[in-house]
Amino acid sequence: MASSDPQRSATIRAVIEDFLQQRLATKVEKLAEDNPNRSELLAQFVPATWLEDAARRVGQIRAVTHSLKPIHPDAKGSSLFRNPSALAPLAEVGSHNLGASFDADVVGNAAALDVYKFLKLSHQGRSLLDLAIADDADFSAALNNDQVVAQAWMAAFAGLAEPRGKFSSHTQAKQIYWPISDDPHDDAGYHLLAPLYPTSLVHRVYLALQEDRFSDAAKAAREARKADELHERPVREYPNLAIQKLGGTKPQNISQLNSERHGDNYLLASLPPVWRSVDVNPLYGVDSLFKRFGWRKEVRMLVVQLQRFLEGNLASNIKTRQRRDELVDALIDELLQFAAEFGELESGWSTSADCDLPPAHRAWLDPDVCSPPLDDAANRVASDFANWLNGQLRDPLPMGDPEFLYWRKLAREQFKQEEWEAAHE
């Protein structure tokens, strides 16, 4: 082990002592000055005494990313710790999406969870658990002046995330027979899977939903929507959201993160979308479909987002181009949705004398109109979309032929993809 830095050791020791003083204060304030338990409590929180006890109790808990108790509170099988950044990437959403930034959970004796709170303490951006795992010399010196004692304690703390014993399931745990053979009658043609609860992923989802539902920024965005005003933050809704309570009145018996969520675990609705029809009226009295399309709330919000994005100090890299294309593609999606809504009208509405749309717009919105052909109409609409978008962004952004050609290209590609999907349904 490298020699320690006395100044850094002192700052780590100050973090530890501050933590112990805060915990002691919350306990002592409940006791009268003459309470005989007061002196005993003060002795327990002497740093050397508390740390020795913590090093002993840390074996009663374990850091995990996938836990068993949420499957069944009486299950006594294995839970697992798997660093999400080390998991194989998949197309589906999973724990691998968490990357290097994630909250590990803790299971075991709830009475020892204070040890994990201690190990979560941060010093210069690193947790004490990270320092223990790294065999940090300054952390060792901060724990105890006796190097042998300090090393023993640090090894005990570092063991929090290490596997213990053999993996096992339990009668209360779920098990799934997963076929790996084409013959369902082949008893050997199955893997027996024991699903675990992705507690670190669940916690990330919980925090995201809390932010979207209750943060000041989310509330301001909803107020702006009520007032029919634009806001830089999107409003995210989670319809038919359910809450699963785990642990009853003692959520800490399930895990540390479950306790931090007060036992609340969000369940997103696994339901098909419900189509909400709106009244669709023919486009009369306008000479361009974009005069109606441009006033849709979603369209205005996307245009503002795109304008603000392009006004920023953007790096010329693939992430910038991808974000720009995402916003433009979203506008084209809205345009396709706008056109699809006119399918609810009786065919031929565009031939009315009240319709002032150009022939290409009529043919694209009312496909049974024979002239011009639909391909030609789609190309014309793609060009008109590019012109319209340039017009929306031109003040204050410099928009010209290169932008026009690129927007038109993106629109043409999406139109052709839409036609292909319709032809192959």
Instruction: Give a yes or no: residue 193 inside a domain.
Output: no
Q: Say yes or no: 17 and 150 in one domain.
A: yes
In a domain, 321, yes or no: yes
pLDDT confidence band for 32 (50 / 70 / 90)? confident
User: DSSP H helical segments within 197-270, as ranges?
Assistant: 199-214, 216-226, 256-260
CA 306 – CA 327 distance, rounded (Å): 6
Q: Does 246 share its domain with 314? A: no
324 with 234, same domain? no
Tell me whether residue 177 is in a domain.
Answer: no
Residue 180 lies in a domain: no
Do the domain assignments include residue 359? Answer: yes
pLDDT tens per residue across span 200-213: 999 999 999 999 99
Q: Lowest mean pLDDT of 1-5, 313-317, 341-345, name the range.
A: 1-5
Q: Sign (positive/negative) of CA torsion 340, 342, 348, 351?
A: negative
As a whole number, the mean pLDDT across the chain is: 89
Distance of alpha carbon 299 from alpha carbon 297, whole angstroms: 5
165 or 322, which is more confident: 322
pLDDT of residue 364: 93
pLDDT digits 0-9 by tens, 83-100? 898 899 888 899 999 988
Tell me: do 10 and 157 sit in the same domain.
yes
| Among the ranges given (56-60, 123-127, 352-356, 388-392), the one the predictor scored with the smallest mean pLDDT | 123-127
Q: What is the structure's pLDDT at 68?
A: 93
pLDDT at 27: 85
Model confidence band, residue 2 (pLDDT cutoffs 50, 70, 90): low
304: left (phi over 0), alpha (psi -120 to 50) or beta: alpha
Domain count, the chain: 3
Beta bridge mates, 108: 61
Does an H or E element contain 50, and which?
A: helix 47-57
pTM: 0.59
In a domain, 330, yes or no: yes
**Greater pLDDT, 167 or 151:** 151
249 shares its domain with 295: no
Q: Is 63 helix (H, G, I), strand (E, B) or coil?
A: strand
Q: Which domain holds residue 353?
A: 290-423
- pLDDT value at position 183? 92
- 1 falls in which pLDDT band (50, 70, 90)? low
Residue 3 backbone dihedrals phi, psi, to 5 degrees: -70, 150
Query: Torsions phi, psi of 155, nearest 5?
Result: -65, -40
Residue 205 and residue 144 share a domain: no
Query: Which value, to the nearest 10 degrees, does the dihedral of the CA atoms of residues 91, 93, 96, 100 take?
Result: 120
pLDDT number for residue 275: 64
Main-chain dihedrals φ then ψ at residue 347, nearest 5 degrees: -55, 140
